[in-house]
Structure 1
Amino acid sequence: MALQRILAVDDEPFNLEIIEEILEDLDFDLLTVTSGQQCLDVIEEFAPQVVLLDVSMPKMNGYEVCKKIKSNLATQDIIVMFVSARGSVEERMEGYAVGAEDYIVKPFGHNELKSKLLNLGQMLLERDILEQQVEDATSTAFNAMATSSEMGFIVNYIEQIGVIDDIQALAKALIQCLNNLGLSCNIEFRVDEQRHHFATAGLCSPIVLELFEILRAKGRLHEFTSRILVNYNLVSVLILNMPSEDADKHGRLRDHICFIASVTEQQLLAILTRKQLVCQQAELNEAITMIHSKFTGLLSLLNNNRSQNESIFRNLQEVFEQRIPTMGLDEDQEVFIYQHIDEAIQSSIAREEAIMQVREAFSEIESDLSLLSSAEKPS
């Protein structure tokens, strides 16, 4: 359902008044409390969808409150957004480590808080839409794991992605493979300076997007609590539910995830390479068409010139054959004139042979280009 109920927790009443003022024109049911214990006392009964949780509070700080919320089966799905005057990377990492979905730094503007809440509301809608799908996929995964090994899932994934040529389809196959292993994930593909995000739950939370940005250039592998992040040049995979209680299974799955991410990176490179080859093939075909057109035009021009030469010499020969006998020339003069006419005709014939050689050369070039075009076509 859409975002309706929000619980705001802050030991400073003035800060709660600011939140009330910002949200007064939005159709939210807002409840405010001034301590972490009050939050825990009312959260199950009020059932908020989002908790705006101050970090720095006496007796029980926001991190401790968030741990208790996320460890309670009745409240673990509630979205927690930390509200803090400190916004360092370490602060945000600690917030994410205890299970928060977002983080906003004081002082914040009216529009910033509204925008973040609207984004979280969209996450809730997507979660509801996908909830049944996730349940079905999870059920399928458990049934499959009862009859197949982990490596079987990985082998099936490798065989499946070999014929995939679309980024969306590759991400869907990767999510399904990890889901078959019982893992919930977030994924980032970096293609042509654009970032594409996918998740088991449909959308990546804002804090996940920040983690991808912060950690993508800081090493191959990052582990914190039950999360693990694997980075490659084009692919990052964040696993949300590593089995921390089982060290052997944790280590085995970590190796699987690194291998799966590596294979996915190679397939993504193959998809991008095929797309480049298709573009190059189109450009080559366009060039061949243009060359063929120019060759055809040039050969037509040569043929026209040859026809014109033949007509000129034929007319000239007829004129001389009619006029020379009546010109009163002696035998040597007639021989001289006929000899030069013959030489001109032979020269014309030689040019025709040259035209034939040019035509044959053009034909060979077109044949070579056709072979090149066939060889360059991507498989």
Structure 2
Amino acid sequence: MALKRILAVDDEPFNLEIIEEILEDLDFELKMVNSGPECLEVVEEFDPQVILLDVSMPQMSGYDVCRKLKENPITQKIIVMFVSARGTVEERMEGYSVGAEDYIVKPFSHEELRLKLQHLNQVLIEKESLEQQVEDATSTAFNAMANSSEMGQIVNYIEHIGSIDNEQDLGKAFLNCLGAFDLQSNVEFRLDGEVLHFSVSGVCSPIVIELFEMLKSKGRLHEFSNRILVNYEMISLLILNMPGQDPDKHGRIRDHICFLVSVTEQQLKAILTKKELLQQQQQLNDAVGKVHSKFTGLIELLNENRINNEAIFKQLQEDLERRIPTMGLDEDQEVFIYQKVDETIQNSVAREESVKGVKAAFKEIENDLSQLLKQ
């Protein structure tokens, strides 16, 4: 039963005795006062759910008392039932106009008052149920709005970090995002051969760094008091001020930070992969430059040998043409010498064609390497 406390107000002690007699075997806490001012004096402390209020009283009428009750935010929700010897339409309308919820006319029977109180009890139950529904709906709406705002922060963060290309800027952006949730955060990035720390206070304290080291391989989540530690392969996050008084917000924030650590780690891996690829590309560029230099030097050497060979053979031909006629050789001997010289020159020409083939092969290799670099 929702109705537990009733305040009866009447300047006639006999009327209060009747009310007490009617309600004595019911599970109500009943308090009785003799005037309007006394009612206003005790009402906040006693905190009744229903007031049985006499209309005609000296000093202050029931109507005036009801107006005061409804003007006070603390007492305005208390149900007021007027008790009066007169029950005309005008008087009832006056009662309703000042905020009363019910009206009973003296003399009334035991059963009539009990029925009215039972009805008011049902009204209280329905009001409490409705207020709870409104509170739940309001809480749900606020949670939805909070979650929507939080998701907006997360989306903005994800869009922002896509353009970040170094670990330091990523760590600072991560702290800024967590700061938007009013979270006091410490972050550790574990890279190959290097560990980076980030904190809202500027530097991580030694105890936080030790905590990262001790718990980095002990599971994904550690919660203690209003703190939470989240571990991933390359990132650990320590939050110092989780919202302990709001379970719904606590759960949302925990889910958010796990997702944020995961997203941040993927971007950190992307940054490191990009750096590695750029380093490999630079190494490849250096290798191509060295190959090109060696190819160029080899081609120049081959060209120089070809030029020297041509000069030697030309000089040989001139010498033979000048000396053979004076050597007293017969015709067959002269023909033999000229044939040998021609064969030697032809072999030299063949080697020159080989040089051209080598040049073409080198050029093709350079083109292939250039295409590889572009990819």
TM-score range, shorter chain: 0.5 to 0.7
Does residue 367 of structure 1 match 2:337? no
Q: Kindly state the Cα deviation for residue 276 of structure 1 after the two structures are TM-superposed.
A: 1.7
Q: Kindly state the Cα deviation for residue 169 of structure 1 after the two structures are TM-superposed.
A: 0.7
Would you say the 8 A contact 2:188–2:237 is kept in 1?
yes
DSSP-derived class of the 2:288 partner: helix
CA distance in 2, matches of 1:214, 1:325: 100
Q: Which residue of 1 aligns with 2:231?
A: 231
CA distance in 2, matches of 1:164, 1:148: 25
Q: How does 1:1-379 map to 2 (within 5 A)?
A: 149-375=149-375
CA distance in 1, matches of 2:206, 2:313: 86
- Residue ranges of structure 2 left out of the alignment (5+ in a row): 1-144
Give 1 or 2 for the bigger CA radius of gyration: 2
Greater mean deviation of Cα atoms: 295-304 or 190-199: 190-199
Q: Per-residue displacement from partner, 1:219-268 (whole Å, max 9, x unpaired)?
A: 01111121111001110011111112221221111111111001111111
Q: Kindly state the Cα deviation for residue 319 of structure 1 after the two structures are TM-superposed.
A: 1.4
- Residue ranges of structure 1 left out of the alignment (5+ in a row): 1-144
Q: Kindly state the Cα deviation for residue 218 of structure 1 after the two structures are TM-superposed.
A: 0.3
CA distance in 2, matches of 1:174, 1:192: 20
Q: Which residue of 2 aligns with 1:13?
A: none
Q: Kindly state the Cα deviation for residue 148 of structure 1 after the two structures are TM-superposed.
A: 6.4
Q: How many residues end up aligned between the 2 structures?
A: 231
**AA aligned opposite 1:342:** D
Q: Kindly state the Cα deviation for residue 206 of structure 1 after the two structures are TM-superposed.
A: 2.7
Detail structure 1 runs of 4+ shifted over 6 Å in the superposition: 145-148
**AA aligned opposite 1:179:** G
Q: Per-residue displacement from partner, 1:309-358 (whole Å, max 9, x unpaired)?
A: 10111111111222223333333222222211111111010000001111
Change (3 A) 1:198 1:255: same
Would you say the 8 A contact 2:147–2:252 is kept in 1?
no
CA distance in 2, matches of 1:341, 1:206: 88
DSSP-derived class of the 2:165 partner: coil
CA distance in 1, matches of 2:275, 2:306: 47
Question: Which TM-score applies when normalising by structure 2?
Answer: 0.59
CA distance in 2, matches of 1:347, 1:367: 31
DSSP-derived class of the 1:149 partner: helix
CA distance in 2, matches of 1:351, 1:339: 18
**AA aligned opposite 2:285:** N
Root-mean-square deviation (CA), in Å?
Answer: 1.8
Q: Per-residue displacement from partner, 1:104-155 (whole Å, max 9, x unpaired)?
A: xxxxxxxxxxxxxxxxxxxxxxxxxxxxxxxxxxxxxxxxx98962111111
CA distance in 2, matches of 1:154, 1:277: 29
CA distance in 1, matches of 2:363, 2:194: 45
**AA aligned opposite 1:259:** F
Question: Which TM-score applies when normalising by structure 1?
Answer: 0.58
Q: Kindly state the Cα deviation for residue 304 of structure 1 after the two structures are TM-superposed.
A: 1.0
| Greater relative CO, 1 or 2 (CA 8 Å, sep 6+) | 1
Q: Percent identity?
A: 64
DSSP-derived class of the 1:252 partner: helix
CA distance in 2, matches of 1:147, 1:266: 23
CA distance in 2, matches of 1:217, 1:147: 31
